[in-house]
Copies of this chain bind each other. A is one copy, B any other.
Amino acid sequence: MSKEPNFDVAQLAHVEIYSPKPEETLWFFKDLLGMEETTREGQSVYLRAYEDHYHHTLKVTEAKDAGLGHVAWRASSKPALERRVKAIEASGYGNQWIDGDLGHGDAYQFQTPDGHSMEILWDVEYYKAPEEKRSALLSRPQKRPLHGVPVRRLDHVNLLASDVTSNKNFLMDELGFRLREHIMLNDGNEAAAWLSVSPLVHEVAVMGDRMGGRGRLHHVCYWYGYPQHLSDISDIFTENNIKIEAGPGKHGVSQAYFLYVVEPGGNRVELFGDAGYLIFDPEWQPIQWKEEQLEKGIIWYGSPLPAEFFMYGTPVIQPAKV
């Protein structure tokens, strides 16, 4: 690790997902997860969790197939943004500046080596609650919603990639992510990597795409922070025919108390029921999980992950017929 870490990226700002069934996707995020709609424009609806401070953290765009629209990172400052854009441009993965979108100003678009669309930006619009939604809890941008089991904030995004190592390196070299944990197979291949710019174990993970895809989404994760809420939402998912793919259970990697479901549009969504652990050590040595340690790394206790967890992503790739 460099003696002088790079702090130019501050956080995951928002994620855009595509949905072929936008109304059902919105029912899932709004009625069940208690998210709030900020705006609709064109084929897109902008949503936020009740402790998200910006205009939106989720953009749901109607599309033929489920999948990832883009991932947006917020820089630590305007000069930090400029430094990162310069580095990305030099890497050859840069694309172009755009004028922004609803909720933020100028943003620089680029791609991961695997082809996931990303952008980095500085200017953001803050959500301002109308009088009746204003909370006396001043650090909370609005009152806690009375519907569903409301998620609190966007947590992270998990990407499938044809090659983990090159995508990991791109995120580390050009954006300043630190490697927190990774899985190294006995054949020397890196199966997955968890990276962050903050004490969170990850704002982004990269996992090998076993279906041979490129640029696919594994999941977007929202945060509860309380274990009971995973039980509560599981109850509601079960009664409302949302298939729980796995969990509630505890990952060894990241120590996260997790739940995975597929929203009606087809994208996998994870929900976090605790804070896992936080990394404050500036010399943190990445945790390396070897094949023989992996079982506990994937599931520390609780539900085993089904095979589809390792294959399913969006857009969907059908397994070859045997």
Contacts and interface: CB of A to CB of B under 8 A. Distances in A.
A77 B229 contact: no
A241 to B, nearest CB: 9
A302 B300 contact: no
A139 interface: yes
A39 interface: no
B303 A304 contact: yes
B229 A300 contact: no
Which size class do A's interface residues fall under?
35 or more
Interface in A87-104: none
Q: Report copies per complex.
A: 4
Name the residue among A228, A250, A283 with the largest chain B CB count within 10 angstroms.
A283
A48 B32 CA distance: 22
A317 interface: no
Contacts of A227: 226-228, 231
Interface stretch (A58-66, A109-117, A232-240): A232-240
Given A138-B252, A226-B228, A252-B138, A247 B198 contact: no
Contacts of A287: 138-139
A79 interface: yes
B79 A293 contact: no
B76 A282 contact: yes
Contacts of A124: 283
B277 A139 contact: yes
A75 interface: yes
Contacts of A137: 238-239, 252, 255, 296, 300
A306 to B, nearest CB: 9
Interface string A298-314: 00111110000000000
A10 interface: yes
Nearest to A1: B77
Contacts of A247: 302
A257 interface: yes
A138 B289 contact: yes
Given A76-B282, A227-B227, A281-B10, A301 B198 contact: no
4 closest Cβ pairs, A-B complex: A228-B228, A11-B280, A275-B275, A234-B301
Interface of A: 3-5, 7, 10-12, 31-32, 51, 53, 74-80, 124, 135-140, 143-144, 146-148, 152-153, 181, 198-201, 225-229, 231, 234-240, 244, 247-250, 252, 254-255, 257, 274-275, 277-278, 280-283, 287-289, 293, 296-297, 300-304
